[in-house]
Copies of this chain bind each other. A is one copy, B any other.
């Protein structure tokens, strides 16, 4: 992994990947006690940054290999990103998704033209299922995060952060990134290390799923031992990847941890102050900036809102029941 791969991914994505806006609100600045800039990746195609990685991976493949099709495992956002990128490259995508993924994510993945194969988390082995399908059909696996071209694609978000912050005169900041397996976080950290060296990235995770924070503290990969399900479905991975962790370890500051309630409160603030839709897992970095900023020193904090794929009923309930 290096910065040239991220630059090349940005080049391949021109005209396809959306340059998402860097938003702000005086109301959020007031709550956080400092300037907060919000990279609204929920406005990316398919509603999350995952389209960057999907497009990057598909566009980097050899045409003959790409033509045979791709396969991905995902609870939903990587699924949609790969599905749309595959459709745009006129090839087929098989997506292996858990039965209990949010309905909107399953429906959207299908509607984007992918073949969805559902599995039961409790009784079926996703990897075995996927490997069988891949072998039978000659499909190429696009991993959700531990995959160089996927990390390169997510890193293009970091290039944009560096540019857009510089346009506002900001070159020094702490950058909080919603973190699952570390694909976005490592890509952004690598991009910023080269393009905005006075910015420091911190991963943000939900309570109970803080494998990255603990891995960074331990200096080695540590896994979550608890349940696999929670409100922040997009970022509940067991442990950071073999490729992502060394990048995180080299470039990131300490991880931050927020509660599910913090994430819901941040979703309401994003609704009221930015008029964007954040999903729970996409709101943890904003939650950290708003409610857990005591450990931060920078005058400016930049956060990703990494996705906005949330069922209407779930969103309505959070709006009605959460005191921001």
Please report A residues at the B interface, Cβ cutoff 8 Å: 18-21, 23, 26-27, 40, 42-43, 47, 84, 104, 108, 111-112, 268, 271-272, 274-277, 308-309, 312-313, 315-317, 319-320
Contacts and interface: CB of A to CB of B under 8 A. Distances in A.
Given A43-B275, A275-B42, A315 B319 contact: yes
- For the complex formed by this chain, how many copies does it contain in all? 2
Given A312-B268, A316-B316, A319-B313, A275 B277 contact: yes
A306 to B, nearest CB: 11
Contacts of A313: 319-320
Contacts of A43: 21, 23, 40, 274-276
A271 B42 contact: no
Considering residues A18, A20, A108, A320, which has the most beta carbons from chain B within 10 angstroms of its beta carbon?
Answer: A320
Given A20-B21, A42-B275, A271-B277, 8 more contacts: A23-B43, A47-B275, A271-B315, A275-B277, A275-B309, A313-B319, A315-B316, A319-B319
Per DSSP, chain A at the interface is helix
A307 to B, nearest CB: 8
Contacts of A277: 271, 275-277
A16 to B, nearest CB: 11
A210 B23 CA distance: 34
A274 B275 CA distance: 11
Contacts of A27: 108, 111
15 contacts: A18-B21, A18-B23, A26-B84, A27-B111, A271-B312, A272-B312, A276-B277, A277-B277, A312-B320, A313-B320, A315-B319, A316-B317, A316-B319, A316-B320, A319-B319
B276 A275 contact: yes
Contacts of A309: 275
Contacts of A272: 104, 312
A43 B23 CA distance: 8
A160 B111 CA distance: 31
Contacts of A108: 27
A79 B65 CA distance: 57
Contacts of A47: 275
Contacts of A276: 43, 275-277
